[in-house]
Amino acid sequence: MSEDDMPDEADAFIAEATADEVSALKVENGALKEQILRYAADAENTKRRAEREANDARAYAIQKFARDLLGVADNLARALTHEPESEDAAVKNFVLGVEMTDKELQSAFERNGLKKIQPARGDKFDPHQHQAMMEVPGTDVAGGGVVEVMQPGYELLGRLVRPAMVAVAAKAGGADGAKAGAPPNPYSADDETDPGASVDRRA
């Protein structure tokens, strides 16, 4: 091998080594980019999850307080149902005050996302929002429909706070079938823990 050939071989060796290093660096660079993108995606998911949890915490912070106030709303409604008929001005003013208090309380509920659940007579029983307290046979309402609302329910921003307690029209042969254990409970939801998953026949 002549001395003239040595620089060419050296250049070739350097070029080959450089190409290998460049290739290795490209692979490493690609792996680092993929890792950075994965970390960025994880960070974004964590940020979104934290924001969602914070929003939920703010949205449902009043849930316990709202549930405590439902008893007040129930008592006002019962008072209005049994309001006395009197020509006495003091009694009339008292009844008017109760009506205004009930109206203002319901307005406060609505402003804070608390919505009353009060199905109309004949509405279909919804096990996700209603709780069947009793069956009523021989009504003009189709079987499985709501006959009477015994206590209204409430939901907070779409989340159930309390189911509406209702009386439902008995389905044809439903009572006998229930005793025989033949048909499934027509008022059961897929989730057995759901508020309206069973009929309370003690009412």
Burial (CB count <10 Å: 0-12, 13-18, 19+), residue 8: exposed
Chain-centre distance for alpha carbon 33: 40
In sequence order, the β-bridge partners of residue 134 are 167
Each residue of 48-84: b (16+ CB within 10 Å) or e? Answer: eeeeeeeeeeeeeebeeebeebbeebeebeeeeeeee
> What CA–CA distance (Å, rounded) separates 57 from 63?
10
- In the predicted structure, residue 20 carries a pLDDT above the cut 70: yes
pLDDT given for residue 153 in this prediction: 95
At how many degrees (to 10) do helices 63-81 and 89-111 cross?
150
Backbone angles phi, psi at 91, to 5 degrees: -65, -45
pLDDT given for residue 189 in this prediction: 54
- In the predicted structure, residue 48 carries a pLDDT above the cut 70: yes
CATH of domain 117-180: 2.30.22.10
pTM more than 0.85: no
> What CA–CA distance (Å, rounded) separates 55 from 157?
12
> Where are the chain's structural domains?
1-59, 63-112, 117-180
Q: With bands split at pLDDT 50, 70 and 90, how would you rate the model's confidence at 201?
A: very low
Nearest CA among 77, 89, 153 for reference residue 115: 153
In sequence order, the β-bridge partners of residue 160 are 155
pLDDT given for residue 172 in this prediction: 72
pLDDT given for residue 169 in this prediction: 92
> Residues near 149 by Cβ (< 8 Å), separated by ≥ 6?
118, 119, 164, 165, 166
